Structures are given as structure tokens and as C-alpha cells.
């Protein structure tokens, strides 16, 4: 879906009159749901809009406007073919043959590669758009910048007090994510570079530092002036926005922004990925990178 081996293709033709039964079975992570849905709504001819997710986490999502156009299928029909299982489960559903294509917040992990090899399934993955891992704090926290080394030392337990990084004299609560989440995988591979992270089981930390949902760091920091957490840039700026108040920290003096990500100046730039099974015989669905940009992500254009 929208994938070429070297990024997004911009073909001269347009896709029209795709029927739901012709649409592949898809899955996605929480933070990539908007781009998956925006592409689907465009190609299926469904009007859509950004609005607050009243049924789930306090975020903005892209929702269909079925009342504006008559369709041959319902929203439930759409949801049955377009899942949102989270990063790890999306990969496992693809490996298990439950879906045809996924858009995930990261590339396939070591554990997922092992699972696919065990089943004799080979996946093809390709970067789809630019994202980043950003660090967030309560707005009352006076610290606005950390170095990459300070971040790593906070998350190995070497730095434990905000005064060590120019803040107030108070212990730092370093929130982390559950092991299979896309954010945790990015934190371990993109930031920590093999260093052993705190894990919530050591004597100095509570198990409650581990968040099981995308919104967990925000909910934790809402009531903790001395905490720090990490989250995808897109999720923070396009989905959370003003619904949960946090400050994104500059890292090494560079503030996370679309411009600093596009120019690769921010230290922890990453990608979101599309993935399919090599065994699938589905024809690729290709469309211009402008749809990726419209979703709020930064399309990879090559």
C-alpha cells in the first residue's frame, strides 16, 4: 500500500472506483491509523474529517462522513477489513495471514522476524514516511533541553535528579513503554544503542512506570511534574495536540519539528513502515505522496 522499495511512487494515473471487497485486509499501529484511514477513505471515495476520538483515548483521529455520500457498505464493514491492533499485533496478524498489508510505526523486530521464520513466511517492508521519537515532560518542568547522553543516562538510572540536568532538586521519574510497543522498540534501538534500560522491576523504580498504551506517557505526566516519557512526534503533534498538555524537549539543542525532521537535524528521526507478505499476489496500490503529507506525516520522496 503506497509502497515502492525506494519510497512513495507518484504515478501519472489515478485510482478510482475501488470497492471495499477489492480493498486488502489492513492493520496498523495506533499512531499510523490516520494515514491508513486517510488513504483508504480517499481511494474508496468516502468523505472524511479530523475530529476528537470520543470513544477512545483523548486524541484526534480521521473519521468517515458516511452521511455525506451513499455507499454500499457501513462503517462496521470498513472496520472489519481495516484493523488497528497496535504495532506488534499488526505484524503478527500479517505473519499469520490474517491481513494482507500493514502500516506500522517501525520496521519488523527481531522477535517478529523469528516468528515469521518459524512459520516460513517472508515479509517485505519499506519506509513510508518520516517520524521521530520525542521526549515529553510536564509543562511546569523548567528543563527544556537535554543532550542525547543525558537522555541515555536518565534511562539507565545514572542520572536520577533533575538538578543534574539544570532543573529543580527532585528525583526524576523516567516512564517507559511495554516491551512490544513501537515506541519501546524505537527507544531501545534508536536512542539507547544497546545500553540496558531501567525496566520497572529494579528496587529504585515502581512497576507503574511502564505504560501499556500510546496515551500512557501523557496520562502519567499529567499528574507528575517530575516525570519524563517518550512518544512518536506524529502522535504528539497530529493526534494528541492540545488534548493532553505536555512539552516536547529539544535534544542536543534541536527542537523536534517537521523541518528539523525533514532535514534530519533532530537526533532521533525514524520512519513508519508498510509491510506485505512476499507470498501475497495482491497488486500494489500506489498513490502520490501528497496523501501522506495530508495525514500529517512527512512523506519519504525519492
pLDDT per position as a tens digit, 138-158: 999 999 999 999 999 999 999
185 near 109, Cβ under 8 Å? yes
Please determine, for residue 172, whether its predicted confidence score (pLDDT) is greater than 50: yes
pLDDT higher at 204 or 103 = 103
194, exposed or middle or buried, with CB in 10 Å at 0-12, 13-18, 19+? exposed
How crowded is residue 206: how many other Cβ atoms within 10 Å of its Cβ? 10
Please determine, for residue 5, whether its predicted confidence score (pLDDT) is greater than 80: no
Q: Residue 120: which residues within 8 A CB-CB, separation 6 or more?
A: none
263 near 167, Cβ under 8 Å? no
What would the mean pLDDT of 4-16 be, rounded to a whole number?
39
Topology agreement, domain 20-130+271-299 and domain 132-262: yes
Report the candidate in 90, 292, 248, 98 with the shortest Cα–Cα distance to residue 182.
90
Q: Percent of the chain, pLDDT > 90? A: 71
Please write the tens of the pLDDT for every residue from 87-139: 999 999 999 999 999 999 999 998 999 999 999 999 999 999 999 999 999 99
What would the mean pLDDT of 239-253 be, rounded to a whole number?
96
Homologous superfamily of domain range 132-262:
Periplasmic binding protein-like II (3.40.190.10)
What would the mean pLDDT of 8-29 be, rounded to a whole number?
69
**What 8-state DSSP symbol labels residue 45?**
T
Q: Which pLDDT value is given to residue 292?
A: 67
Please determine, for residue 12, whether its predicted confidence score (pLDDT) is greater than 70: no
What would the mean pLDDT of 190-214 be, rounded to a whole number?
82
Report the candidate in 190, 210, 186 with the shortest Cα–Cα distance to residue 198.
210
What would the mean pLDDT of 23-32 be, rounded to a whole number?
94
Looking at every residue in the chain, the average pLDDT score rounds to 88
Residue ranges per domain, the chain? 20-130+271-299, 132-262
Q: Which pLDDT value is given to residue 3?
A: 39
SS3 (DSSP) at 157: coil
Q: Which pLDDT value is given to residue 20?
A: 92
Compute the distance between CA of residue 235 and CA of residue 197 in angstroms, rounded to an integer: 23
Q: Which range (40-49, 56-65, 71-80, 272-281) has the least confidence? A: 272-281
**What 8-state DSSP symbol labels residue 236?**
I
The neighbouring-strand residues paired with 50 are: 62
Compute the distance between CA of residue 21 and CA of residue 294 in angstroms, rounded to an integer: 25
Q: Which pLDDT value is given to residue 300?
A: 74
The model's pTM: 0.86
Q: Which range (52-61, 237-246, 258-267) has the least confidence? A: 52-61
Q: Which pLDDT value is given to residue 209?
A: 87
Please determine, for residue 282, whether its predicted confidence score (pLDDT) is greater than 50: no
Q: Which range (34-38, 111-115, 233-237, 291-295) has the least confidence? A: 291-295
Please determine, for residue 14, whether its predicted confidence score (pLDDT) is greater than 80: no
Q: Which pLDDT value is given to residue 159?
A: 97
* pLDDT-derived band at 291, boundaries 50, 70, 90: low
Inter-CA distances, 100 with 18, 38, 149, 177, 281, Å: 16, 18, 40, 27, 10
Please determine, for residue 50, whether its predicted confidence score (pLDDT) is greater than 90: yes
What is the CB-side half-sphere exposure of residue 38 using CA atoms within 13 A?
Answer: 23
20-130+271-299: CATH topology = D-Maltodextrin-Binding Protein; domain 2 (3.40.190)
pLDDT higher at 1 or 178 = 178
Amino acid at each position: 500500500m503506497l509502497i515502492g522499495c525506494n519510497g512513495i511512487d507518484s504515478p501519472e494515473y489515478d485510482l478510482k472506483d475501488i470497492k471495499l471487497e477489492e480493498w486488502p485486509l489492513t492493520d496498523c499501529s495506533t499512531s499510523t491509523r490516520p494515514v491508513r484511514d486517510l488513504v483508504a477513505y480517499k481511494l474508496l471515495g468516502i468523505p472524511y474529517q479530523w475530529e476528537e476520538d470520543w470513544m477512545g483515548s483523548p486524541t484526534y483521529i480521521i473519521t468517515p462522513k458516511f452521511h455525506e455520500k451513499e455507499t454500499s457498505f457501513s462503517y462496521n464493514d470498513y472496520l472489519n477489513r481495516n484493523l488497528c491492533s497496535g504495532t506488534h499485533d499488526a505484524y503478527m496478524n500479517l505473519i499469520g495471514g490474517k491481513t494482507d498489508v500493514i502500516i506500522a510505526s517501525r520496521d519488523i523486530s527481531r522477535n517478529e522476524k523469528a516468528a515469521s521464520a518459524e512459520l516460513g513466511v517472508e515479509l517485505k517492508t519499506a519506509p513510508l514516511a518520516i517520524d521521530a521519537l520525542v521526549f515529553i515532560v510536564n509543562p511546569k518542568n523548567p528543563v527544556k533541553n537535554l543532550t542525547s547522553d543525558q537522555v541515555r543516562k536518565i534511562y539507565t538510572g545514572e542520572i536520577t535528579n533533575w538538578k543534574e540536568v539544570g532543573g529543580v532538586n527532585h528525583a526524576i521519574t523516567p516512564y517507559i513503554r511495554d516491551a512490544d510497543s513501537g515506541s519501546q522498540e524505537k527507544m531501545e534501538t534508536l536512542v539507547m544503542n544497546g545500553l540496558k534500560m531501567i525496566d520497572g522491576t529494579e528496587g529504585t523504580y515502581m512497576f507503574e512506570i511502564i505504560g501499556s498504551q500510546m496515551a500512557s506517557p501523557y496520562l502519567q505526566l499529567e499528574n507528575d511534574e517530575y516525570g519524563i516519557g517518550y512518544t512518536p512526534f506524529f502522535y504528539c503533534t497530529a493526534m494528541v495536540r492540545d488534548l493532553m498538555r505536555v512539552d516536547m524537549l529539544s535534544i542536543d539543542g534541536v527542537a523536534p519539528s517537521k523541518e528539523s525532521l525533514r532535514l534530519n537535524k533532530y537526533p532521533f528521526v525514524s520512519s513508519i513502515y508498510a509491510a506485505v507478505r512476499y507470498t501475497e499476489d495482491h497488486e500494489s496500490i500506489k498513490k502520490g505522496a501528497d496523501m501522506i503529507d495530508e495525514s500529517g506525516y512527512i512523506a519519504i520522496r525519492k
